[in-house]
Amino acid sequence: MKSAVILFPGINRENDAIAALTQATGSTPELVWHGETDLPKADIIMVPGGFSYGDYLRAGAMAAKSPVMRAVAERAKQGVTILGVCNGFQILTEAGLLPGALMRNASLKFICKRAHLKIENEVTRFTNQYDEGQVVEYPVAHHDGNYFADSETLDRLEGEGRVVLRYCDADGTVDPATNLNGSQRNIAGILNEEGNVLGMMPHPENAIDPLHGGTDGCGLFKSMVEAAS
């Protein structure tokens, strides 16, 4: 199975993405520079976290205009599995591959901690190794993770099962007290309409080894491999 990781100036989680994909697929993904206009053959493409272009202008806004993103959009149309994590989520929304926007955290503070997340849809190509309602724990590290969309978009996402992850507590309770960054409806991860593009703020690639403090992220990468096999 082949995979690729996109590298933008300022990104700092590409090696974490490579490690997670290597563990899950059994082969090392190809690292693709943002200035490329084409992509190698890949079953999975990951847009990793970091701070592309130092988050100047708006997080993900400059990276979304990179030449490689036209190729990523084309692969998305072809049905290739695409995962955007943290800054990758911001880039995918700025590129128009996912609806909504990521705004400054409601606290106006950078948040770096482990977070509980509820699996809201277990029948996606990203979550088929989890159970419905299962609570997992991934790290988060972001300053602009406050998901926003208009009410019509939010209702459509909910109605079409495209809200995949929500912030919750260890018991799975989803309410304002467990909403760590102010995201509307506690949303932590969403799908595109076709179900092959997932954007999420938490970092599953940093929860794949006991040395990370947990391995809950393995399920997400195994899900992608299962779906692509």
Q: Are 87 and 199 in contact (CB under 8 A)?
A: no
Instruction: Examine the residue annotation and report whether 142 is marked as an active-site residue of this protein.
Output: no
State both tokens at 224.
């992608």
In whole angstroms, what is the distance from residue 215 CA to residue 136 CA? 9
19 class by beta-carbon count within 10 Å (0-12 exposed, 13-18 middle, 19+ buried): middle
Instruction: Examine the residue annotation and report whether 203 is marked as an active-site residue of this protein.
Output: yes
Choosing from 14, 94, 120, 205, which is the catalytic residue?
Answer: 205
Instruction: Examine the residue annotation and report whether 30 is marked as an active-site residue of this protein.
Output: no
What amino acid occupies position 70?
R
134 class by beta-carbon count within 10 Å (0-12 exposed, 13-18 middle, 19+ buried): middle
Find tokens 């590298």 and name the residue: 7
In whole angstroms, what is the distance from residue 170 CA to residue 167 CA? 10
Choosing from 86, 116, 120, 142, which is the catalytic residue?
Answer: 86
Find tokens 């997932």 and name the residue: 198
Choosing from 34, 116, 142, 203, which is the catalytic residue?
Answer: 203
Q: Are 203 and 17 in contact (CB under 8 A)?
A: no
Residues recognised as catalytic? 86, 203, 205
